């Protein structure tokens, strides 16, 4: 995962749309304490910081020091944002100190999502809310003349590429199992009609080539004509009672 890749997603129309919705669902207010878990290069920190204002705090946590350095640079003008090295499985945060928590495409990668959710519950105050923006790669659709090729691509990505590839659909259950009250779940379908954008964000050509080599797809499909692909991201909202 590179900073230009993450910036590209955030700048795309589908990326901007679901990210704005996640911030809206966080229902942030002045003076709140918010944490962005797996904050990467600080993609969402400015939006969180502006919503809580200088009387609040935002802590961005990531296990990647290079990402944290970029996030630090990008939030230098907002001193109520701090960055910490840490792992979602063992958050460097006090019990019950956060009003709001956020993840964006992070739980799809962690070794133990249930443990990460237990940590999120631990750090939330009673009444605190978490918004989890996580995809479900089984719902990756690419229009190909032979539909088997598109289905093969989705099977390749879910089986070989992303560790917790179908976490989107499971988060409501996992939140409930972690003792969180699920408030709402939304599914946002991003639609790509331009193969170059789909290449940048989904790696559609690159992954077709890999899927052929791995035996999931017979031959790389011709994507030179009219193009359509879609990917699904779930926004799961839960609270600690």
Ligand X SMILES: C[S@@+](CC[C@H](N)C(=O)[O-])C[C@H]1O[C@@H](n2cnc3c(N)ncnc32)[C@H](O)[C@@H]1O
Q: Which stretches of the chain bind ligand X, using CB under 6 A?
A: 1, 6, 38-40, 43-44, 62-64, 67, 87-89, 104-106, 109-110
Q: Which residue is nearest to ligand X (CB)?
A: 40
100: β partners: 34, 129
Closer of 44 and 217 to ligand X (Cβ) = 44
Closer of 105 and 155 to ligand X (Cβ) = 105
Closer of 163 and 193 to ligand X (Cβ) = 163
Among the listed residues 96, 83, 91, 92, the one whose alpha carbon sits nearest the alpha carbon of residue 39: 83
| Contacting residues for 30 by C-beta, under 8 A, at least 6 apart | 52, 53, 55, 56
Closer of 25 and 212 to ligand X (Cβ) = 25
Taking the complex as a whole, how short is the minimal distance between the CB of residue 77 and ligand X, in angstroms?
Answer: 19
Angle between helical axes of 3-11 and 13-26 (0-180°, round to 10): 80
Taking the complex as a whole, how short is the minimal distance between the CB of residue 87 and ligand X, in angstroms?
Answer: 4
Closer of 69 and 148 to ligand X (Cβ) = 69
Taking the complex as a whole, how short is the minimal distance between the CB of residue 147 and ligand X, in angstroms?
Answer: 29
Longest Cα–Cα distance of the chain, Å, equals: 57
| Contacting residues for 193 by C-beta, under 8 A, at least 6 apart | 226, 227, 228
Taking the complex as a whole, how short is the minimal distance between the CB of residue 126 and ligand X, in angstroms?
Answer: 25
Closer of 60 and 152 to ligand X (Cβ) = 60
Taking the complex as a whole, how short is the minimal distance between the CB of residue 39 and ligand X, in angstroms?
Answer: 6
| Contacting residues for 112 by C-beta, under 8 A, at least 6 apart | 89
Number of H helices, E strands in the chain: 9, 7
Taking the complex as a whole, how short is the minimal distance between the CB of residue 191 and ligand X, in angstroms?
Answer: 20
Whole-angstrom Cα distance, residue 138 to residue 164?
11
Q: What is the distance, to the nearest Å, from the Cα of residue 203 to the centroid of all Cα atoms in its chain?
A: 17
Whole-angstrom Cα distance, residue 43 to residue 141?
26
Taking the complex as a whole, how short is the minimal distance between the CB of residue 55 and ligand X, in angstroms?
Answer: 24
Closer of 59 and 149 to ligand X (Cβ) = 59
């Amino acid at each position: 995962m590179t900073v230009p890749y993450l910036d590209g997603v955030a700048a795309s129309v589908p990326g901007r749309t679901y990210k704005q919705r996640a911030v809206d669902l966080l229902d942030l207010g002045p003076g709140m304490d918010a944490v962005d878990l797996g904050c990467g290069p600080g993609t969402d920190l400015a939006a969180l910081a502006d919503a809580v204002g200088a009387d609040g705090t935002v802590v961005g946590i990531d296990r990647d020091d290079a990402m944290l350095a970029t996030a630090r640079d990008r939030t230098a003008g907002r001193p109520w944002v701090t960055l910490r090295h840490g792992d979602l499985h063992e958050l460097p945060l006090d019990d019950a100190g956060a009003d709001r928590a956020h993840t964006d495409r992070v739980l799809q990668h962690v070794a133990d999502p249930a443990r990460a959710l237990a940590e999120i519950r631990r750090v939330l105050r009673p009444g605190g809310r978490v918004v989890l923006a996580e995809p479900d790669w089984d719902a990756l659709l690419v229009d190909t003349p032979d539909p088997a090729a598109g289905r093969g691509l989705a099977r390749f990505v879910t089986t070989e590429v992303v560790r917790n590839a179908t976490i989107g659909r499971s988060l409501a259950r996992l939140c409930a199992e972690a003792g969180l009250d699920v408030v709402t779940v939304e599914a946002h379908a991003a639609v790509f009609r331009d193969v170059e954008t789909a290449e940048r964000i989904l790696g559609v050509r690159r992954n077709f080539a890999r899927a052929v080599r791995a035996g999931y797809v017979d031959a790389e499909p011709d994507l030179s004509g009219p193009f359509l692909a879609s990917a699904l991201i779930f926004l799961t909202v839960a609270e600690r009672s």
